[in-house]
Structure 1
Amino acid sequence: MQSLLSGFENATSGAQYAVNSTTYVGKMFTRIVGSSLRGRCIVCNNLSPEGHEKTFGRERGFFQSWDSEAIVAGRRQLADVPTLMIEDINVAEILMCREKKEDGKLKRQCGYCDILCIILDTLFPDWASRQDRVSDKINLMIQDRSPLVLSYRRRELNAALAYNRFDIEIYRPLDQTSPPTNDDRLLAWPSLGYAKENSDNAGSKHCFEFLEESFHECTMSHPLCARPDESFVPTRLLFIGSISGVSTVKLCDPVDTTESVKWAALSHCWGGEHPLSLTTSTIKQRKSGINIDELPATFRDAIQVARHLKIQYIWIDSLCIIQDSPVDWRIEAARMGNIYQNASIVIVAAPSPNPHTSFLGPRNSEWLSKAMRFSRKDGSEGKVRFRRRPTLASPLEQGGNEPPFTMSWATLKRIGPLYSRAWCFQETFLAKRALHFTPGAIIFE
């Protein structure tokens, strides 16, 4: 009886698979055959999530069985929105909208593919002419009323087995004075959604407001994040106070544990440099005070961030471990996991290759948004913006929590010199809260 039931289930499953496959092929055939009649590009689908055999909603969502009901409910709500992911488009297919046949006509007329070409021209001037472009691929993630994500993967001649991946976000700028309405849609690109502009300076008032709001929300609303091991206190900390105008910091050795001690910890690159350090001969001097102007730029920035968050202590490895004492190094290295795990916040200076490079300041122009114009169906002019899209702090989470909830979309790399260091993995992975200052964004994790 059991074998009969098993055979029946297998037959039913096989029949359902055949039906699904037939339906899929039928939809694909209908789309390809009818594309010219409907004026829809067979490559980019007119950058619309609708009318494609790969368009999906709730039934294709990725949900972890161990996630909370609230998280699953949120993902299901997002997954209800029509979403289309077109993967592994060869750049030659996109470029056909510019190439001409012998009769002088374009091989394929598509204004939407041309928009993608213009964006790639701006960000990667050599993308269409480089010798190794035959292996280059483009992915599109299109979701109704959300920014479109273009992922450009290019193989470099010096990395035969590896691709460099660049994600680009295309969006409509959100005007804070006049929020969008349901009817406010681009006639030629109705599915394209809005996004806020990122600050062009990581040290701006807007960025510090984001830091303070994120930190406050986490400390007040996330019970699991607010449970440090209060019995653990680092051997040494730097007392920085809470007033930005204070010009000195002091080494506390030992730390006064009569009251609750909260500290920030800095994760940074030494980069072959020897920053201001603690040695056996400078302990007394560091305890009497360090002029903040003596500190390298990365340290000064971290202190500024901690003070804004009203944290009075900070742990920095070069100033809290005796650098010329192998004994102290062995002791403190064994405690570093607890130091980062129990810190109120870990400040991650990702873009700084060495302690002398500030992470608070103007962003590199490659991360700033750019504008482009295109013609609408009614002949008027439409405006959109595009920018490099920063990777979230946890690439796997970015793939699992964003439509289309696929792990294949999570093949991302964190950007910044710090992320190539082994120490950084421990420092950020153990943190209850981390502020990642990346080249293109500030990310609260």
Structure 2
Amino acid sequence: MAGYWLHTCLTSHQNCRFSDAIPQLPTRVIDVGNGIDKPVRLIASDGAHGLYCTLSYRWYDSHPFKTTTENISQLYQDLPENVLHPTIREAITTTRKLGLPYLWVDALCIIQDDAADWAREAARMSAVYENSILTIAAIDSPSADEGIYRKRTHSPRPYNRDFPPNFPTGYFGYGHPFFVFSRKCRPRPLGELDTRGWCLQEQFLSPRILSYAGGELFWECSEMMASESYPGGKDSISLWCSMVERFTRRHLTVESDRLVAIQGISDVLTAYTNEEIVMGMCKSLLPRHLLWWVNTIAGDFKVKDPLHRPTNFSCPTWSWAS
């Protein structure tokens, strides 16, 4: 699934497409090897270029293994995986399975007892995450002996479907088994990682994030949010429509704030997609968006107050904001 999301993002997302210029590697990266006869080891990039993942996680006091001035020479030869915390070890496995050669982890790629090296690398942190092809995020609460591969709290059901000849199967045709986790596309649950100050920058700067959270995989990039529950994801315009539905269920003290209250979100959408928002609707999909209707009962939500047009707000009647 993660491989499908990454491939889709790199090949079809206009705002996410990787530059033709392969980025310069950080000062040091972990060569993840092949899991057979090529060992995992730390390498000095010496200005070389390549594709790499980054790991966003919380440090673990129970597994303090890190790169120091004393062991760095040995780690350039071989980085024994059995001394690493399961989160780092499994991030190495994930990177390898995605077909990517390198992983950057702060505890191992920065010399932790060298103040000069730490200061120099900390200053480059933003570039490290911005230039990575993918950030692997360990969202769940840290555990002494559990990594990102955790036992699921629910049992997904296999999803099998037959398609007509020449039917564009999308993610169902990617060649892997699929499972139904939920009928809803739930947002990524918050976790321990979301409480860490450094991790906000890591998540904000990363062009793509693969999160392990709540027994499920989640994907985030500039054009799509997806999960194992909703593997096809939702694009930015679909998310805008969903946001409008949620927004119109809420109460506004000042009725004339209807469009102003979501202006910030529409500005972000325009910046990412060049989509023009006209009276709360996407201009490129205006014929479709003109088909809005009033629904007083939506799921478990029921409108309490009678619907009426605002008396102090002028808006075209073809807009939902009217």
Q: TM-score w.r.t. structure 2 length?
A: 0.55
Structure 1: distance between partners of 2:139 and 2:148: 8
Aligned match for 2:139, one of 340, 350, 356: 350
1:441 aligns with 2:216: yes
Residue in structure 1 matched with residue 32 of structure 2 by the alignment: 240
**Residues 416 and 329 of structure 1: is their aligned pair in 2 closer, same or farther, counting only changes over 3 Å?**
same
1:315 aligns with 2:104: yes
Partner of 2:30, secondary structure, is: strand
Deviations 1:67-118 (A, max 9, x none): xxxxxxxxxxxxxxxxxxxxxxxxxxxxxxxxxxxxxxxxxxxxxxxxxxxx
In structure 1, stretches of 5+ residues that fail to align are: 1-209, 371-384, 394-413
Residue in structure 2 matched with residue 207 of structure 1 by the alignment: none
1:212-223 equivalence runs, <5 A: 212-223=3-14
The structural deviation recorded for 1:245 is 3.1
CA root-mean-square deviation: 2.7
Structure 1: distance between partners of 2:41 and 2:183: 40
Residue in structure 1 matched with residue 206 of structure 2 by the alignment: 431
1:250 aligns with 2:45: no
* Aligned partner letter, 2:142: P
Structure 2: distance between partners of 1:268 and 1:389: 27
Structure 2: distance between partners of 1:327 and 1:430: 24
Partner of 1:248, secondary structure, is: coil
**Residues 431 and 269 of structure 1: is their aligned pair in 2 closer, same or farther, counting only changes over 3 Å?**
same
Structure 2: distance between partners of 1:267 and 1:246: 28
CA contact 2:129–2:135 (8 Å) conserved in 1: yes
* Aligned partner letter, 1:238: I
1:134-283 equivalence runs, <5 A: 210-227=1-18, 230=22, 232-241=24-33, 243-246=34-37, 248-255=39-46, 257=48, 260-283=49-72
Residue in structure 2 matched with residue 335 of structure 1 by the alignment: 124
Tell me the percent identity.
Answer: 33
Deviations 1:36-91 (A, max 9, x none): xxxxxxxxxxxxxxxxxxxxxxxxxxxxxxxxxxxxxxxxxxxxxxxxxxxxxxxx
In structure 2, stretches of 5+ residues that fail to align are: 158-179, 221-322
Structure 2: distance between partners of 1:324 and 1:391: 42
Deviations 1:272-319 (A, max 9, x none): 345321001111011011122222211111011111111000000100
**Residues 293 and 423 of structure 1: is their aligned pair in 2 closer, same or farther, counting only changes over 3 Å?**
same
The structural deviation recorded for 1:387 is 6.7
CA contact 1:299–1:355 (8 Å) conserved in 2: no
| Bigger helix share | 1
**Residues 435 and 281 of structure 1: is their aligned pair in 2 closer, same or farther, counting only changes over 3 Å?**
same
Larger radius of gyration between Structure 1 and Structure 2: 1
* Aligned partner letter, 1:425: L
Aligned pair count reads: 197
Residue in structure 1 matched with residue 187 of structure 2 by the alignment: 392
Residue in structure 2 matched with residue 417 of structure 1 by the alignment: 192
Partner of 2:10, secondary structure, is: helix
Partner of 1:425, secondary structure, is: helix
CA contact 1:240–1:313 (8 Å) conserved in 2: yes
Structure 2: distance between partners of 1:216 and 1:253: 28
Structure 2: distance between partners of 1:279 and 1:329: 11
Structure 1: distance between partners of 2:50 and 2:213: 28
The structural deviation recorded for 1:265 is 0.3
Structure 1: distance between partners of 2:185 and 2:94: 21
Residue in structure 1 matched with residue 77 of structure 2 by the alignment: 288
Structure 1: distance between partners of 2:219 and 2:105: 20
Structure 1: distance between partners of 2:57 and 2:149: 14
CA contact 2:148–2:212 (8 Å) conserved in 1: yes
Q: TM-score w.r.t. structure 1 length?
A: 0.41
